Chain A
């Protein structure tokens, strides 16, 4: 029943793609398409929610696909959870979409393709989650990739956009092949390509490792773990903002879903080495992600890098979970899994929120570069408030949702002492350390973002033209922001409803979550740790009210007087006196110097009046040390191979001649 609802959602998404082709005007097209998308999002979200809550697993076989391998579909708690994420965020974003598209897209053909592929993209994501056999999974997966490729290449008049799209599609394709191989290994030992067959498969240990490695690389390439992340910071900035929101907020989660499905659902067995690998890669992604984010000036590029960070945090949770599972502590494994999943939904919410906010900013100010923004809080208060909420959540500050998932991850890590081997224990300790560091750096990063973009004075003329965005765009941001708050305030309820997932995958749930009452979140036990999010909010507001009433200006006869800013007596400050994004992160750049390839250059003043130029460009080691050399290597070998095509016919004949001789030699 709910499965059919989900398929109805898929149908609606495809319909949205279809209707957008024949339309005559941009606005009607966008409205129709996004309305259908919104409905599809609602449908899938409800079905997913139901699938998660009921905890039962529904199956269905569609008469498409290969003749002997019809497309199997399923809906179990895990799939339901991720459907909820995808559907929900899609539904909210489809509020944002219309006015954004109308505002930013000028020509009809572009609008059509945009809407068309958005529909396909969303449908693809639904189908990936619903797929229950390797073939339909791969088809849906690549449909998702290809559709999003067209969305990234949407504005194809800039060369860098096209290049970004190329890198994106190439890596998506390679990743897809890895995943395919992973499934192939499972199917090779099992009886077939349906998930149930693969679960039944029994692999020798080294083949288990191979399958795991393939899946880890394949899905990691989509999820954007270091060093497979290079496509993210290139692709996200160039896509339209609501698409970036979908890609970063949702598509990465779909990759995580695939990974969880593969490890927990299909492989079924756990090895501590896997846990360590996932954990360490997670740490690396989290730390490097946020450090690179700190150095960015392009807002969306920064957000993309911070997605790498958050994926890293999710992988940390997964790694811990796998470690505990391999060590025979299912409860803690469940805790780690829940922490990861909770961070998934949180990141989906606040990252989409931030990307939408960024879209609104860029739409209004026409600037991608933080160093040209500033003072937008006065011009777009609602967007600013929502963006602030997003910043607080992503910096993992109470009482918002980001904090809860990081708190859960910490709690999981702190249980590391139950492990047997000292090595894994100390690795967990290090992981906890890097998570702590990540959190602090994230706060720094988003202080910078909000402070530079919204506070202070406008650093560029165009920024002053900005004004508050349309109702739909505001509404979607407000919805996402309130989602962040709700998940932050009532974590225990949310986690309780997620119980079915670990119960389904690991055979055990978190019994203790509400042991201290619904007000307190007590993942392990009431003694070990407790977090009463509602009480925290309550306490803060009480204290606030108290302080405010006590010192209320009217009751104390001292009104507020307004005056110019303190300028050290040097006369009025210009906007150039402000700190910029670059200068703000300069101390940190100085501390963690060798982390980035930095090209810092100062041009001396050419004339007396202009003060010279200072520019700093931060590259990416992974790109410069891994990908470029690889590309060069392939180019070299290609050049070598061309020698066989020398153009002389007698040489060609000689090839044929000697091939014949050699072959004869071989066979006799």
Chain B
């Protein structure tokens, strides 16, 4: 219980504190300190949920169950490891004068603010607050995207801001509709936006309204997930912002938006009785998956490329959630974990690589293995992992997705096959020359902290070789909540 509040309060205070001393040398460490504290409390929270089941605070303001607590843990963990990476990285950026002191303050405080909004979005029991938090996440990051004040970064920031703002507005309309449907059957208006309450009355809600609402919600939150054709802000924001931001954006923010959509799906399915919501998600997911896979071939900017790979994987996960059914859902939940771990690890290495070569353009990055082996290997292995090659965890979840798809929609498997192959080729044709070969002159070793990458990749490896029973049981609980029955 206290763990819950602490988990929310720590980043909030962090944001406030760093707003004042974010430019000092210790800011990076301080940032890390807050993240670690948050991680510990969230661990505690997770333990509580794991042992005593879901938690519902008085006046059901917060609601923690197996589904969101594992995302909370993931968030705080990735937030922590990224903070480890961010302190030397941002120090370097500051030293080469890309960021001023004010920028650093903004950066650090917003880093914590971002974590806070995301944790809030996860933990709250209130659809409205969820919306507020997600919008808040946008607001917190939008200035970070344009942190470097270059034309490109400002353009990216503007696009990010406006597209997500408009999208999220639609989501709010959807939320309003759900509220509308809820108040028809509920006396107490204040309860009408609570997950915990809504789930109990899910079947009584008016299906047509819910369906209408879901359309607005998926278009709204889908913009944040980065579903094609609403994805256009994503590559820009990822490529222009500071790399730690890209890491947590694609590692966490997308997950949160997806989490929201899945929550709504859980709410809508019993009312509709059909899986139409699922079919909508499948359509979006498949489209994003294929388009992103193709776009990978045309990339010139390394961070852009990996953001497209994020779109691809998000599409895959959305598709899997859309299929529904225990196996697919289990796979999707697992894929959320492995994707955010792997992708953040990759962005960390990419950040260092970009510093080594002083550029983000793929054609200029060469021979990393020679210049700085740990970065080269990190990038290569990370790519292999994200491409879904065993013995890494991404393969495990893709294996589950495939088998689930074959069970329910055999013919869609062909498109999955095509998409995966194309995406693989697209990633590798670019990564290989960056890693291998002779290194051009002018590349300098940088002070890189590869521990986060190592840790992430080890976890991925572990998940690939053997999914620990604890985690499996955990995900299975979530699966049971989402689909009604588990895999185990």
Contacts and interface: CB of A to CB of B under 8 A. Distances in A.
Interface of A: 63-68, 109, 135, 138-139, 141-143, 145-146, 153, 156-157, 159, 162, 165-166, 169-170, 173-174, 177-178, 180-181, 184-185, 187-188, 193, 634-635, 637-639, 641-642, 644-645, 649, 652-653, 655-656, 659-660, 663-664, 667-668
Contacts of B17: none
Interface in B264-304: 276, 280, 291, 294-295, 297-298
A181 B402 contact: yes
B98 interface: no
B180 interface: no
B436 A653 contact: no
B387 interface: yes
Specify the main secondary structure of chain B where it touches its partner. helix
Given A109-B373, A660-B170, A667 B211 contact: yes
19 contacts: A66-B396, A138-B390, A138-B399, A139-B465, A143-B391, A156-B369, A166-B429, A173-B420, A174-B421, A180-B402, A181-B417, A185-B406, A193-B403, A635-B297, A641-B294, A642-B295, A642-B298, A656-B223, A659-B230
A641 B291 contact: yes
Contact of B407 (A67, A177, A188, A656): A188
Contacts of A637: 294
B395 A139 contact: yes
B26 interface: no
Interface residues of B, number: 68
A72 to B, nearest CB: 14
A170 B219 contact: no
Given A162-B433, A181-B406, A181-B417, A659 B163 contact: no
Interface in B438-473: 438, 464-467, 469, 472-473
Given A146-B384, A184-B403, A655-B230, A645 B215 contact: no
A193 B467 CA distance: 16
Interface string B155-199: 000110011001100100000000000000000000000000000
Contacts of B389: 142, 145-146, 173
A204 to B, nearest CB: 12
Given A180-B402, A655-B230, A634 B425 contact: yes
B96 interface: no
B428 interface: yes
Contact of A156 (B162, B403, B422, B437): B437
B429 to A, nearest CB: 6
A135 B432 CA distance: 28
B99 interface: no
A153 B215 contact: no
Contacts of B426: 638
Given A162-B437, A185-B406, A667-B215, A645 B232 contact: yes
Contacts of B132: none
A637 B158 CA distance: 29
Nearest to A64: B466
Given A169-B428, A655-B230, 18 more contacts: A64-B466, A65-B466, A66-B396, A66-B467, A67-B467, A146-B389, A170-B428, A173-B424, A181-B402, A184-B413, A188-B410, A637-B294, A645-B295, A649-B162, A653-B163, A656-B166, A659-B229, A667-B276
Contacts of A135: 396, 399
Given A173-B421, A656-B223, A664 B373 contact: no
A77 to B, nearest CB: 27
Contacts of B215: 660, 663-664, 667
Contact of A67 (B162, B233, B472): B472
A177 B420 contact: yes
Interface string B327-343: 00000000000000000
B9 interface: no
Nearest to B227: A659
Contacts, number: 157
Contact of B159 (A63, A649, A667): A649
Contacts of B298: 638-639, 642
A185 B421 CA distance: 19
Given A177-B421, A644-B229, A664 B469 contact: no
B159 A159 contact: no
A258 to B, nearest CB: 15
B212 A664 contact: yes
B216 interface: yes
A458 to B, nearest CB: 33
A69 to B, nearest CB: 10
Contacts of A653: 162-163, 166
B228 interface: yes
A138 B389 CA distance: 10
A162 B432 contact: yes
B487 interface: yes
Nearest to B159: A649
Contacts of A639: 298
Given A67-B472, A663-B215, A664-B215, A166 B432 contact: yes
Contacts of A139: 390-391, 395, 464-465
Interface string B228-254: 111011010000000000000000000
Contact of A667 (B212, B235, B297, B487): B212
Contacts of A178: 417
Contact of B402 (A174, A184, A659, A660): A184
B373 A170 contact: no
A8 to B, nearest CB: 19
Contacts of A166: 428-429, 432
Contact of B158 (A63, A68, A185, A649): A649
B466 A68 contact: no
Residue in B428, B469, B473 whose Cβ sees the most chain A Cβ within 10 Å: B428
Contact of A63 (B402, B422, B466): B466
A659 B222 CA distance: 11
B413 A181 contact: yes
Contacts of A649: 158-159, 162-163
Contacts of A67: 467, 469, 472-473, 488
